[in-house]
C-alpha cells in the first residue's frame, strides 16, 4: 500500500485554505456542497509494471499523485478531493490511480519538483503526460478536469526538446553565478522571495566567494541570510522549520525535513568556524540536538521528516505556540520512520562541518550514522535508497551524498578505511554514467523496469550531478586518479544554461562544483604512522578555514609522497608543491601561499 496520509478534516481546511506553499502547494476553497459527503478512502495502486500494463490493456488513463508524508495540502487533497464521490466515480470508471511518496522515489520527486506537493500528473494509457498540476485542486475543478481527459479533450503534450548542453565550464560557472546572484534578496536576506527557504548551499557559496575570491560583501550577505534562518529554529525542541511565507522569516510552515536540517546545520557551523561568533554555534547546536533527540533512528541513520500538525484538532500553528510542558501533555507530531540513504548522508556531511567548527559530539554522531549507512550498500557497490530495504533502484543522489560523506570522514579521522569506501563508491557510480555521445553526466537512477512512456527516459538532474561532481573531483585529487576528475567534468558539462536557470536556488551544489573544478585548490597530504603528531597535523589540516582545501592521510610507504622521517604535510596544487611541513602552526600560511600561486 503506498504511503499516503489522510488525516485532515474539512473543518480544518476551511480555516487554512488561505495558506500558500511552495514545498506543499496552496489551494483555492472547495465548494461546501462537495465537502458534505465523502467516499471511502481511495485504494491507490502501486507503481509497478503490472499497473501500467493494466492501464494500457484496458485503455485507462493514469493518475499519478506525488506526495510527501509531511505535506499538509497532500492530506487535504486526499480527504477532500480524492474523497469526493464524483471524483471517485470518474477515477473508478476511467483511470488507474497511483500514489508515490516523494522521499521514497527521488527520481519522480526530481521530475515533478517544480509542481510542488501534491503534484498530480494525468497520463494517457500509454503513459504520456496529458497534464501536470501544481498543488491542491478542489473537487469541482478536479472532477471537470478528469471528465475532459477521459473524453479525450486534452491530448498528450508533445515531448519537450532537450536543450543543448554547454561543455565550457567557465561559461557554465558564469551562468550559474548570474542565476544565483539574481535570486539574492537584499531586504530580508536569503535567496528567492515569497517563500523563504533556509537552503545551505547558497550560503556555502556566498562564504566561498568571500573567502576564496575576496568578494567580502558576500560574507555579510551570508550572515544576514543566516540571521533569517535562525528565526526558523523551533525554540523548544530545536530543528529548523521548512520555510516561511510572505517574504518574511517569521511566518513559518512547521514541518521539519531532514535535508533542511542538514543544510542549516552545515551553514550555521561554517558561520561559527569563520567568525567565531557564539550565536552561530548556538544555532548549530539546536539543530544538532534535534537530529540527535528526534530524527535519529535507533539502528543508525536519521528519519526523513516530522509533520507540522499534531492531529485533526491541533494544527502546527497551535502546537508550536506551546511551551515544553504544553507540548509534552499532547505528544509530538508524527515522524516519518523511514531512513533514506541520501538524507542521512547529507546529515553526516553536515555533522562533519559541525565537527570542523568544534561542536561537541558531532564527529562521533557522524561516525555512528555512517557505519549504519554502510549496511545499505548492495553487492554491486551501489547504495540502496532506503536503509533496511534489500531491493530497488539505485539512485544517483544516494551515491553522491555517501561519496561526499566518506571523503569527509577520511579528512576528519585520517582513517584509510573511509578513503577505501569512497573509492568503491566512486567506481560503482560509473554504472550510472550516461554515454558521452549522449551528453555525459549521470542518470538519476538505474533502469526502472516499471517505467512506461515518458518515464522510460532517464533524466540527468542538475543538482545531483553537481553533488556527484564535488565528490568525484575530491576523490580524484585525494587518490591521484584522473579518471574520477574526468567523471566530475562529465557531470558538470552535462548541463545546459537553460537547466541552470530552471534549477534556481536549488542549483547551489552544482555551482559549487563548478567553482571547485575551475578554481584554485590546495592539497594537504599528511604522511605519518598514525601517532599523536600525525593526528595533530591531520586535525589542523581538517580545520583550516579554507574552502579550497583538500586533505588526504597516508601511512609511510603509501600514497604519492615519501615519509621524511617524521610526520609531515606536503602542500600542493596542480602545478607545484611546498617543502614538507611538520609544524601544525605553519600549515595555514603555507596553504595560503600555494593558493596565491594560482
Answer whether residue 12 shows pLDDT above 80: no
Coil/strand/helix, residue 417: helix
The full DSSP string for 46-90 is PSSHHHHHHHHHHT-EEEEEEE-TT-HHHHHIIIIITTSHHHHHH
382 phi and psi angles, rounded to 5 deg: -90, 150
Beta bridge partners of 558: none
Q: Measured between alpha carbons, how far is 105 from 84 in angstroms, rounded to an integer?
A: 27
Q: Which three cell numbers stand for residue 126?
A: 500509454
What SS3 string covers 244-304?
Answer: ECCCCCCCEECCEEHHHHHHHHHHHHHHHHHHCCHHHHHHHHHHHHHHHHHHECCCCCEEE
Q: Which three cell numbers stand for residue 443?
A: 542518470
Residue 112, classed as helix, strand or coil, is coil
Asked if the bond preceding 118 is cis, omega within 30° of 0, the reply is yes
Distances from the Cα of 376 to the Cαs of 392, 466, 528, in angstroms?
11, 23, 32
CB-based contact 29:91 (threshold 8 Å): no
pLDDT confidence tier of residue 39, bands split at 50, 70 and 90: low
pLDDT at 48 over 70: yes
| 111 Cβ contact list (under 8 Å, min separation 6) | 455, 459
345 SS3 class = helix
At 375, is the secondary structure helix, strand, or coil? coil
Over residues 476-526, the pLDDT tens digits come to 999 999 999 999 999 999 999 999 999 999 999 999 999 999 999 999 999
Q: Look up residue 386 and give its DSSP letter.
A: B
Residues 369 and 300 sit within 8 Å (Cβ to Cβ): yes
Q: Which three cell numbers stand for residue 315?
A: 494544527
| HSE, side-chain direction, 13 A CA sphere, residue 562 | 3
CA–CA gap between residue 418 and residue 410 (Å, rounded):
5
Q: Which residues, including other chains, have CB under 8 Å from residue 233's CB and lie 6 or more apart?
A: 239, 240, 241, 283, 286, 287
Measured CA to CA in angstroms, residue 94 lies from 60, 122, 453 at distances of: 5, 12, 19
pLDDT in tens, 522-546: 999 999 999 999 999 999 999 999 9
Please report, rounded to a whole number, the percentage of residues in the chain having pLDDT higher than 90: 87
Closest CA to 234 of 159, 175, 291, 312: 291
Flag whether pLDDT at 359 surpasses 80. yes
Q: b/e for 194-215, b at 16 or more Cβ within 10 A?
A: ebbbbbbbbbbbbbbbbbbeee
Say what the pLDDT of residue 573 is. Answer: 93
pLDDT at 378 over 80: yes
Where is pLDDT greater, at 31 or 491? Answer: 491
Tens digit of each residue's pLDDT (9 = 90 or more) over 300-348 = 999 999 999 999 899 999 999 999 999 999 999 999 999 999 999 999 9
Q: How far apart are CA 360 and CA 223, in angstroms?
A: 23
pLDDT at 143 over 90: yes
Angle at the Cα of 344 from the Cα atoms of 341 and 347, rounded to 5 degrees = 150
Confidence of residue 38 (pLDDT cuts 50, 70, 90): low
pLDDT of residue 585: 98
Once rounded to an integer, what is the mean pLDDT over residues 434-449?
94
Q: What is the mean pLDDT of the chain?
A: 92
Could you give the CA distance from residue 556 to residue 562 in angstroms, rounded to a whole number?
7
Are 452 and 126 contacting, i.e. CB atoms less than 8 angstroms apart? yes
DSSP-assigned beta bridge partners for residue 552: 525
Q: Are 289 and 240 in contact (CB under 8 A)?
A: no
User: d(Cα 274, Cα 280) in Å, to the nearest integer?
Assistant: 10
Element (H, E) at 463: helix 462-479
Average pLDDT of the residues in 59-83: 94
- Which among 30, 61, 54, 82 is positioned nearest to 153, based on CA atoms? 61
What's residue 141's pLDDT? 95
- Whether the CB-CB separation of 402 and 371 falls below 8 Å is answered with no
CA angle 341, 300, 338 (to 5 degrees): 50
HSE of 365, CA atoms in CB hemisphere, 13 A: 27
Residue 8 has pLDDT above 80, yes or no: no
Break the chain down into helix, strand, coil percent, rounded to 5: 50, 15, 40
Under the banding of pLDDT at 50, 70 and 90, the label for residue 16 is very low
Tell me the residue length of the chain: 598
Question: In 10 A of CB 16, how many CB atoms?
Answer: 17
What is the per-residue pLDDT across 566-592, written as a single tens digit (0 to 9) for each? 999 999 998 899 999 999 999 999 999
CA 349, chain centre distance (Å):
12
Place of cell 538505474: 446
Average pLDDT over residues 434-448: 95
Predicted confidence at residue 36, as pLDDT, reads: 42
Q: How far apart are CA 522 and CA 211, in angstroms?
A: 14
Write out the DSSP string of 92-127.
Answer: HHHEEEEEEETTT-HHHHHHTGGG-SSEEEEE-TTS
Angle between helices 508-518 and 169-183 (to 10 degrees): 140
pLDDT above 50: residue 33? no
Question: How does residue 553 score in pLDDT terms, banded at 50, 70 and 90?
Answer: very high
**pLDDT greater than 70 at residue 252:** yes
Which of 316, 353, 394 has the alpha carbon at shortest distance from 75? 316
Amino acid at each position: 500500500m503506498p504511503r499516503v496520509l489522510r488525516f485532515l478534516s474539512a473543518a480544518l481546511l476551511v480555516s487554512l485554505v488561505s495558506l500558500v506553499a511552495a514545498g506543499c502547494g496552496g489551494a483555492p476553497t472547495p465548494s461546501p456542497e462537495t465537502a458534505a459527503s465523502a467516499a471511502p478512502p481511495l485504494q491507490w495502486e502501486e507503481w509497478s509494471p503490472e499497473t501500467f500494463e493494466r492501464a494500457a490493456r484496458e485503455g485507462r488513463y493514469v493518475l499519478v499523485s506525488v506526495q510527501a508524508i509531511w505535506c499538509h495540502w497532500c492530506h487535504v487533497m486526499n480527504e477532500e478531493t480524492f474523497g469526493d464521490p464524483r471524483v471517485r466515480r470518474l477515477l473508478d470508471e476511467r483511470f488507474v490511480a497511483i500514489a508515490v511518496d516523494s522521499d521514497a522515489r527521488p527520481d519522480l520527486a526530481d521530475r515533478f519538483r517544480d509542481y510542488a506537493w501534491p503534484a498530480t500528473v494525468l497520463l494517457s494509457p500509454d503513459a504520456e503526460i496529458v497534464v501536470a498540476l501544481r498543488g491542491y485542486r478542489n473537487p469541482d475543478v478536479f472532477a471537470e478536469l478528469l471528465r475532459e481527459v477521459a473524453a479525450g479533450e486534452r491530448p498528450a503534450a508533445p515531448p519537450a526538446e532537450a536543450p543543448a548542453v554547454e561543455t565550457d565550464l567557465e561559461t557554465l560557472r558564469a551562468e550559474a553565478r548570474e542565476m544565483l546572484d539574481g535570486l539574492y534578496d537584499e531586504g530580508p536576506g536569503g535567496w528567492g522571495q515569497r517563500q523563504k527557504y533556509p537552503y545551505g548551499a547558497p550560503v556555502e557559496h556566498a562564504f566561498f566567494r568571500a573567502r576564496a575570491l575576496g568578494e567580502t560583501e558576500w560574507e555579510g550577505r551570508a550572515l544576514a541570510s543566516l540571521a533569517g534562518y535562525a528565526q526558523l529554529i523551533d525554540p523548544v525542541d530545536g530543528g529548523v522549520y521548512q520555510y516561511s511565507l510572505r517574504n518574511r522569516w517569521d511566518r513559518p510552515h512547521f514541518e521539519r525535513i531532514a535535508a533542511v536540517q542538514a543544510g542549516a546545520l552545515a551553514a550555521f557551523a561554517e558561520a561559527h568556524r569563520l567568525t567565531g561568533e557564539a550565536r552561530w554555534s548556538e544555532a548549530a547546536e539546536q539543530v544538532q540536538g534535534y537530529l540527535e533527540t528526534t530524527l535519529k533512528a535507533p539502528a543508525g541513520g536519521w528519519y526523513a521528516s516530522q509533520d507540522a500538525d499534531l492531529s485533526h484538532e491541533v494544527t502546527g500553528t497551535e502546537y508550536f505556540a506551546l511551551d515544553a510542558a504544553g507540548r509534552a501533555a499532547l505528544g509530538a507530531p508524527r515522524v516519518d520512520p523511514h531512513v533514506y540513504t541520501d538524507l542521512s548522508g547529507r546529515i553526516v556531511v553536515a555533522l562533519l562541518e559541525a565537527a570542523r567548527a568544534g561542536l561537541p559530539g558531532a564527529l562521533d554522531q557522524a561516525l555512528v550514522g555512517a557505519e549504519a549507512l554502510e549496511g545499505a550498500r548492495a553487492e554491486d557497490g551501489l547504495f540502496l535508497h532506503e536503509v533496511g530495504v534489500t531491493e530497488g533502484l539505485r539512485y544517483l543522489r544516494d551515491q553522491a551524498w555517501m561519496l561526499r560523506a566518506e571523503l569527509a570522514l577520511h579528512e576528519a579521522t585520517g582513517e584509510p578505511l573511509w578513503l577505501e569506501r569512497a573509492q568503491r563508491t566512486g567506481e560503482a557510480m560509473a554504472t550510472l554514467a550516461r554515454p558521452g555521445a549522449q551528453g555525459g553526466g549521470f542518470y538519476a537512477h538505474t533502469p526502472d523496469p516499471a517505467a512506461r512512456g515518458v518515464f522510460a527516459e532517464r533524466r540527468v538532474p542538475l543538482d545531483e550531478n553537481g553533488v556527484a561532481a564535488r565528490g568525484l573531483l575530491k576523490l580524484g585529487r585525494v587518490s591521484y586518479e584522473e579518471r574520477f576528475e574526468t567523471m566530475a567534468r562529465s557531470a558538470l558539462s552535462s548541463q545546459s544554461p537553460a537547466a541552470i536557470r530552471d534549477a534556481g536556488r536549488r542549483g547551489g551544489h552544482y555551482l559549487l562544483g563548478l567553482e571547485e573544478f575551475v578554481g584554485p585548490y590546495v592539497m594537504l597530504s599528511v604522511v605519518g604512522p598514525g601517532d599523536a603528531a600525525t593526528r595533530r597535523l591531520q586535525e589542523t589540516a581538517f580545520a583550516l578555514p579554507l574552502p579550497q582545501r583538500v586533505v588526504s592521510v597516508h601511512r609511510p610507504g603509501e600514497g604519492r609522497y615519501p615519509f621524511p622521517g617524521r610526520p609531515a604535510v606536503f602542500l600542493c596544487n596542480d602545478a607545484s608543491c611546498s617543502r614538507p611541513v611538520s609544524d601544525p602552526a605553519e600549515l595555514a600560511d603555507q596553504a595560503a601561499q600555494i593558493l596565491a600561486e594560482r
